[in-house]
Structure 1
Amino acid sequence: MRARRPLGAVRSARRGVCSWAAVGLAGLLLAGCQTDHPQNTLTPQGPVADTQQNLWYVVFVIAVVVFILVQGLILYAVFRFRDRGGDDQSIPKQVAGNTRLEIMWTIIPAIILAAIAVPTVKTIFDLAAVPSDPLEVRVIGKQYWWEFEYTGEEGQGVVTANELHIPVDRPVYLTMESIGQQPTDPTGVIHSFWVPKLAGKQDVVPGHQRTMTIEASEPGRYEGQCAEFCGLSHANMRFVVVADAAPDFEAWISSQTEPAASPTDELAAQGEQLFTERTCIACHAITGYEGAEARVGPDLTHFQQREKFAGYILENNDENLTAWLKDPQAVKPGSQMPNLQLSDADADALVAYLRTLE
């Protein structure tokens, strides 16, 4: 007959398995950490993100100290007052009703909360203040893309989609809202604007205007996304903030104020005609194109300059653009762009026309 393992040995083996499982799980979680990830919150690239991270470190350090202290006391109590067997079954000295202790563990948490609250409130007020001489941009969350309208005198009414250009070392004051399918329709859904390396999240709520400030310290491309579930293509609602040196930003603004170029070849001219006939003109604006003033969909005036499209998920190349035009729902479920049943020839013509919009 097979001998049974002692109960203590079984428990020891189980503890060993659990310990190794915990180590493996911790290793798996750490494997997900990537310091050079484009959306890494621990590598701030602007004063707003720096301020928020400094507050986070204060709260984190306090939380670590409290955690170690509390867990240490729990472990001390577990081992100090464990059942040692034998005849001594006396109950340890009880502290319930000890006025001195109760005052102490009321005052200490209050001090901890004050240590967190004071820098938190100060940071909230500092970040809520309107900066001096900001670039002003209106941000509109739609399903499932972002529209950016430069509202200040310097921006000259430039409108873009999913690519927000800003100058380096200058605060950008964002006024944000969510709307429905028409510019005058306030019935949208809640989105959340998030550029991890430049600032924390800000919910964008239908019927309400929210504001926040972002600023970049270095030129570069900072990826962002909607961080609030908003429908089928929530994960496909991305954008990028492009931080340019001041001269480059001024040149970009100047180029965006120019009207769209006219097609110079026959295929592109056919695409321009299809743009009107296939009702594209009912949803998309093109500066300088008569009748193309709707803003249900993205402004296409300088579409060719954009690195990506369709909520900043597709590289701006002919293959992706053709696939998008022929069946938008297959690429981005829930998109408001309908399937226009385009033939291959029609799709090629529209692609050729969009390529002229530089």
Structure 2
Amino acid sequence: MMNRWHVLKRVMPLLVGMVLLLSGCGRADLSTLRPQGPVAEEQFGLMKLTITIMVVVVLIVFAIAVYVIVRYRRRPGDKSIPVQVEGNHKLEIIWTVIPIVLLIILGVPTVKSVFGLAKDYTHDPKAIQVHVTAHQYWWEFEYPNLGVKTAQELIIPNDAVISVEAKTADVLHSFWIPSLAGKTDTNPGGNVNTMYFEAPKTGVYLGKCAELCGPSHSLMDFKVKVVDRASFDRWVAAMKNPVQLPDDQQVADLLNKQCLSCHAIGDKGVQLYPNLTGIGSRQAVAGILVNTDDPKYKNEGSVEDNLKRWIKDPQAVKPGTQMPKVDLTDDQIDAIAKYLAGLKLEY
């Protein structure tokens, strides 16, 4: 018994240290505990209610257990047999009624929220309609009522309900913006799942795939950029503007042959894979290579540097991606990256 106690004394500080260490992990923009919209706030409220009930129940049960262990422990020299209790109707009624009451307290707001958050805004003319298609390992966003399609960065206004219809082009994925709303699966077989959310605070939020979908599942990120209505309208207009290819004919031919056969840039190319219109304005390349010139971020780079890294060896960035490694010289990669980095949208 003493040996076990000594082992426990050594292990406990380690366990406490691990808990403190792990509590510091994570990111502020990837937390459901910092809701930034009404849908996320309602879901967070349910979490707090559930946790509060569980904590109260656990504390009461442990308090009773400790009291019973101490109060009715066997004393030294006491060999008497305790009174044998076969039943107590009053206690049995109490511990049956209490769980029922707790279930009602938890169940009523849960059912209310479930039905409330299941509202269908797909035919609401005031809502921004977005068709989300999940691919291995990128996200496609189409605004059917606005005639715009983009990828990896969802641009939305801060004054409207965002109605989402989510589906997959391949395997099972899950669309998730932790700070704004819960997860919505994208199921194979042509199924379309709907959800809605609102984002009243302008800013950039991180989205993730929340369903294991392959070797680069953890790298299947996207950004949600919330802007004011005027900026959103300018972005929509900018996405529809025609794009001019480089004046250098060799670079233009290279783009037509190597890029525009799969991607779209403005009114040129095809939209089989991510639309590259305005890629120079995005927060990241390939969803995970954050665009920054800040030297303290050693693993990141400028838009142009990240594009070079991605074009040169996509598999090194996202294993399993369908983006092929194209046979290009360093000069050709530099020329393509420079042009794409210059595709910026003013909004």
TM bucket normalised to smaller: 0.7 to 0.9
- Spell out, residue by residue over 1:163-212, the C-alpha distance to the aligned partner (whole angstroms, 9 max, x if none): 11111131101110011xxxxxxxx1111111111112222212311111
Partner of 2:130: 137
How do 1:20-99 and structure 2 match up within 5 A? 20-32=13-25, 37-95=28-86, 97-99=87-89
Q: Structure 1 residues 78 and 271 mapped into 2: Cα distance closer, same or farther (>3 Å)? A: farther
**In 1, Cα distance between equivalents of 2:244 and 2:75:** 87
Matched, 1:107 2:97: yes
Partner of 1:205: 187
**Structure 2 stretches lacking a partner, 5+ long:** 292-301
Matched, 1:215 2:198: yes
Matched, 1:261 2:252: no
2:246 counterpart letter in structure 1: P
Partner of 1:335: 321
**Is residue 224–residue 240 contact of structure 1 (8 Å, CA) maintained in 2?**
yes
1:298 aligns with one of 266, 274, 277: 274
Matched, 1:158 2:114: no
**Is residue 134–residue 140 contact of structure 2 (8 Å, CA) maintained in 1?**
yes
1:239 counterpart letter in structure 2: F
**Is residue 240–residue 312 contact of structure 1 (8 Å, CA) maintained in 2?**
no
1:201 counterpart letter in structure 2: K
- Spell out, residue by residue over 1:59-94, the C-alpha distance to the aligned partner (whole angstroms, 9 max, x if none): 121111111111212222222333333242414533
**Is residue 263–residue 356 contact of structure 1 (8 Å, CA) maintained in 2?**
no
**In 2, Cα distance between equivalents of 1:18 and 1:94:** 39
Partner of 1:354: 340
Q: Structure 1 residues 29 and 112 mapped into 2: Cα distance closer, same or farther (>3 Å)? A: same
2:33 counterpart letter in structure 1: L
Relative to the length of structure 1, the TM-score reads 0.85
Partner of 1:281: 260
Q: Structure 1 residues 22 and 300 mapped into 2: Cα distance closer, same or farther (>3 Å)? A: closer
**In 2, Cα distance between equivalents of 1:142 and 1:120:** 32
Partner of 2:299: none
Partner of 1:235: 218
**Is residue 233–residue 333 contact of structure 1 (8 Å, CA) maintained in 2?**
yes
**In 1, Cα distance between equivalents of 2:325 and 2:4:** 63
1:310 counterpart letter in structure 2: A
Partner of 2:297: none
1:248 aligns with one of 215, 221, 231: 231
What secondary structure sits across from 1:281 in the alignment?
coil
**In 2, Cα distance between equivalents of 1:79 and 1:203:** 50
